Structure 1
Amino acid sequence: MIYLLASDIHGSAYYMHKLMEAFNLSGASRLILLGDLLYHGPRNNLPREYNPKETYSLLNSLKESIICVRGNCDSEVDQMVLEFPILADYAPLFLEELGGRMIYLTHGHLQKPPLKKGDILVSGHTHIPVAEEQDGVFFVNPGSVSIPKGEYPPTYCLYEGGTFTIRDFSGNTHMTLSV
């Protein structure tokens, strides 16, 4: 099974098109969104081709494939135009291929959920990609689709067969983590 994980679209129609292309080419069965879908937030510059209306239309076209958690820039107003749930702060995900280990999905702006060795925390928020293990706990952040930080390009993450791979839209791999 393949999942594409992405965070921090921030209303960029330009990068939403790129994300859709990556999703379609990847063969992923699910698009896991880690929040901050439509609004750019007061601390960020406007992303390229900022167009929340086009962005939500594109997202709604994928609604059957999306699992989403709420980011700090997402609100009830956004939920009114999106045709899939976006307001959960956390979502647990269990994959049989990982032996029932817990994957916590969250945006990353709230308190970390309780984690034990073997658990996987997947979050966004920082706009900086991460794929690392610390004391037996795995941390994955796909970076930002539209407003990257830390001198990274716009990135997303593919999960397949126990491996998280962070890639950019030119097809370059930036980091991998096998869990």
Structure 2
Amino acid sequence: MKIGVISDTHGDYRSWEKAWDFLKDSDIILHAGDVLYHGPRNPIPEGYDPKKLADAVNASPVPILIAEGNCDAYVDQMMLDVPIQTPYVFAFIEGKRFMIQHGHNISDEDIHKLVKKYKLDYFIIGHTHIPLIKKIENCVVINPGSTSLSKREDKINSVGFIEVESGSVHIIDLESGKDILFLE
């Protein structure tokens, strides 16, 4: 099973199209929030078209689970057929335990506690726009970065993938399709 991991799309339809080229063969997509609105502290992305992005998310043949981000609002949910869940999404997929939380109001200590309490295999976060893969005990913490507003020094926009059978995790550059981070 292939799981797509995405976050911080911020209404950028053009970057969604690039991400979709990699996500469309996923069995499920986990979105860590900040779906439609660019946010008051962010620049407006070049491909900003939240209506078009909402239509694309609604039309996705791949199921999507979304955790509420700090830029998501009730009006966003009015545009989406996919529920924005708040503040956590818990899923049991292929025998693995997943938790998704945007990351804007959770500490590393809180993540450690949740990992232990729920015996998590994967904890998905976003918010920082900086990709990350790290282990906390037996849990893999993944931040796929942002599809449109990267805060990496090199400004690479990214998405992630989890191959459940092998346990491998990859975060890829949307332009080149190459791994920028991976865990085998």
Could you state the TM-score of these two structures normalised by the residue count of structure 1?
Answer: 0.88
Counterpart secondary structure, 1:77: helix
How far does residue 36 in structure 1 lie from its aligned partner after superposition?
0.4
Aligned pair count? 173
Whichever residue aligns with residue 172 of structure 1, its letter is: K
- In structure 1, which of residues 83, 86, 108 is the aligned counterpart of residue 84 of structure 2? 86
Q: Distance in 1 between matches of 2:27 and 2:180?
A: 22
In structure 2, the residue matched to 1:110 is 105
Structure 1 unpaired stretches of 5+: none
Cα distance, 1:29–1:101 mapped onto 2, change above 3 Å: closer
Please say if 1:29 is aligned against 2:34. Answer: no
- In structure 2, which of residues 152, 157, 164 is the aligned counterpart of residue 154 of structure 1? 157
Whichever residue aligns with residue 127 of structure 1, its letter is: H
Whichever residue aligns with residue 173 of structure 2, its letter is: D
Counterpart secondary structure, 1:16: helix
How far does residue 93 in structure 1 lie from its aligned partner after superposition?
2.1
Whichever residue aligns with residue 22 of structure 1, its letter is: F
Q: Distance in 1 between matches of 2:42 and 2:2?
A: 31
In structure 2, the residue matched to 1:172 is 178
| Percent of aligned pairs sharing the same letter | 36
Counterpart secondary structure, 2:91: strand
Please say if 1:141 is aligned against 2:139. Answer: no
Q: Distance in 1 between matches of 2:62 and 2:137?
A: 36
Whichever residue aligns with residue 168 of structure 1, its letter is: D
How far does residue 50 in structure 1 lie from its aligned partner after superposition?
0.8
How far does residue 136 in structure 1 lie from its aligned partner after superposition?
4.4
Q: Distance in 2 between matches of 1:30 and 1:61?
A: 14
- 1:60–1:82 Cα contact (<8 Å) kept: yes
Please say if 1:49 is aligned against 2:23. Answer: no
Deviations 1:4-31 (CA, angstroms, capped at 9, x unpaired) = 110000011110111222212xx21112
Aligned CA-pair RMSD: 1.8
Could you state the TM-score of these two structures normalised by the residue count of structure 2?
Answer: 0.86
Q: Distance in 1 between matches of 2:146 and 2:81?
A: 22
